[in-house]
Amino acid sequence: MKQPILTIVVPCYNEEEVLPITIESLHLLLKRMIAEDLISKESKLLFVDDGSKDQTWSIIHKESVKSEQIRGLKLSRNVGHQNALLAGLFTAKESSDCVLSIDADLQDDITVIPRFIEKFSNGYDIVYGVRKKRDCDTFFKRHTAEFFYKFMSKMGVNLIYNHADFRLMSKRALSELENFKEVNMFLRGVVPLIGFKSTSVYYDRKERLAGETKYPLKKMLYFAFDGITSFSVTPIRFVLLTGLISFFVSLLFGVYFLTLKMTGNTETGWTSLITSIWLIGGLQLIGIGLIGEYIGKIYKESKRRPKFIVDIDSITFPKPLPLKNTQRAKDESYNLNLRKLPETN
Ligand code: UDP
Ligand code: MG
C-alpha cells in the first residue's frame, strides 16, 4: 500500500516560548516517520497562528522558508482554539490522506504518533488520543476536567472520556465534518457524531514545555458552558420539570391549606395567597419551559446537521470493498463507472 500523506496541524496562540522546541521535535519526528516508510514524503506540519500578538508568526514564517515540510497559516485575528483548529484541519484536508491535530505546548506525547498512523493504516477513520493519567496537571485542573466530562455526559453530551483535541482523522471523516454547518463548533462533541470506524491510543499527559496555559478558569467555564448549550436542551427541560412539579405541589397544598382553613387554623387571606403563589409560579415555569422546548427545536433545526452519514454503499459498489481506504476505493470505482458509461449507452 502507498504510504498515507499525513499533515500535523498545530494551533498556536502566543506560543513564542515553546514554538521553537515544538517545531524542532515535530519536524524530527516527521522526518523519522518518512524514513521508516510509515508516511509519504509529501507529509507536512501546518502551524496555525491564531492572531498571536507575539513573535509566533515570525517564528513559523522563518521555519517555513527553511523547510518545505513546515507550512504556516495566519488567521486575521484571534478566533479561539476550536476555530483555529478547524481552519487548520480543513486547509490540510485538501492535500492529505489523514490529518492529526496536537497542541503547541507538547503536553500530548508525540512519541505515540506512529501508533495513530498504524491504526489509520489498519482502516480506522478516527483515532482519539486518550490520557491515561493527568498526574502533571494541577489538582484543580485535573478535578475540574474530570467533573466536566461527567457533567457533560449527564447533560446528554457524549464525549470520549479524557480525550481533548489530540486526534487523527481521515480525509473522508474531515469531509463529513465539513457538513456540520454550526457556527459554535464544539469539536469534541461533534467528532463522535461522525461515526465511522474509530479507536483510541493511550498516552501520559505531560506538563507544558514552556509558556502559560491559554485556558484560565474564566475561559474554561465559558468553554464548558458553550459545550453544554451547543449540544443539549436538558437545561430547558429542567425549567419545564420544575414548573410541572411546582404546579402539582400547588394542587396538593391547595387541598391541605383548605383543610387547615376549614379547621380554623390559619390567618385570614393566607390560604388563597399561598396557593396562588405556588400555582402561578408553577404555571409561569411551565409556560417558559414550553416556549423553551420550541426554541430548542429551532436551535436544533438551525444547526442543519447531517441526518446520516454513509459508510459503505453496496448499491453503487456491489463487489465487497477492501476494508482499508474505502474512500480511495470509492473514488476509483466511481471513475471506473464513469468511464464505462459510454459503452452501455
Ligand atoms: N490556542 C489557540 N487559540 C486560543 C487559545 C489557545 O490556538 O485562543 C491554542 C494554544 O496555542 C495551544 C492549544 O490551543 O496550542 C491549547 O491551549 P493550552 O495548551 O493553553 O490549553 P490547556 O492545555 O492549558 O488546556
Ligand atoms: Mg496545554
pLDDT of residue 315: 66
* pLDDT surpasses 90 at 227: no
Contact 84 CB / ligand 1 (< 6 Å): yes
User: What are the pLDDT digits (tens) for 139-188?
Assistant: 777 777 778 778 877 877 778 888 889 999 999 999 999 998 887 788 88
Q: How far is the CA of 152 from the centre of ligand 2 (A)?
A: 21
Q: Please name the fold of domain 6-215+307-331.
A: Spore Coat Polysaccharide Biosynthesis Protein SpsA; Chain A (3.90.550)
pLDDT of residue 93: 93
- Residue nearest atom 25 in ligand 1 by C-alpha distance: 215
Mean pLDDT for the stretch of residues 124-128:
95
Query: Which alpha helices (H) appear in the chain, and where do they start and end?
Result: 19-35, 56-66, 81-93, 113-121, 139-154, 171-177, 187-194, 217-231, 234-262, 270-303, 326-344
Contact 144 CB / ligand 1 (< 6 Å): no
Burial zone of 154 (CB within 10 Å; 0-12 exposed, 13-18 middle, 19+ buried): exposed
pLDDT grade, residue 47 (50/70/90)? very high
- Residue from 62, 201, 216 nearest 119 by CA: 201
Contact 333 CB / ligand 1 (< 6 Å): no
* pLDDT surpasses 90 at 327: no
Q: How far is the CA of 16 from the centre of ligand 2 (A)?
A: 14
Q: Which of 103, 107, 134, 137 for mutating ligand 1's site (highest number of atoms within 8 Å of CB)? A: 103
- Please state the atom number of ligand 1 nearest to the C-alpha of residue 78: 8
pLDDT of residue 321: 53
d(CA 293, CA 316): 40
Name which residue leads in pLDDT, 189 or 168.
168
* pLDDT surpasses 50 at 22: yes
pLDDT grade, residue 50 (50/70/90)? very high
User: What are the pLDDT digits (tens) for 194-213?
Assistant: 989 999 999 988 777 777 77
Mean pLDDT for the stretch of residues 242-267:
83
Number of other CB atoms surrounding residue 34 within 10 Å = 17
pLDDT of residue 345: 32
User: What are the pLDDT digits (tens) for 269-322?
Assistant: 777 787 888 888 888 988 888 888 888 888 778 877 776 667 666 666 655 555
Q: Residue ranges of the domains in the chain?
A: 6-215+307-331, 234-303
How confident is the prediction for the chain on average, in pLDDT?
83
- Report residue 88: phi and psi, to 5°: -65, -45
Q: Are 178 and 90 in contact (CB under 8 A)?
A: yes
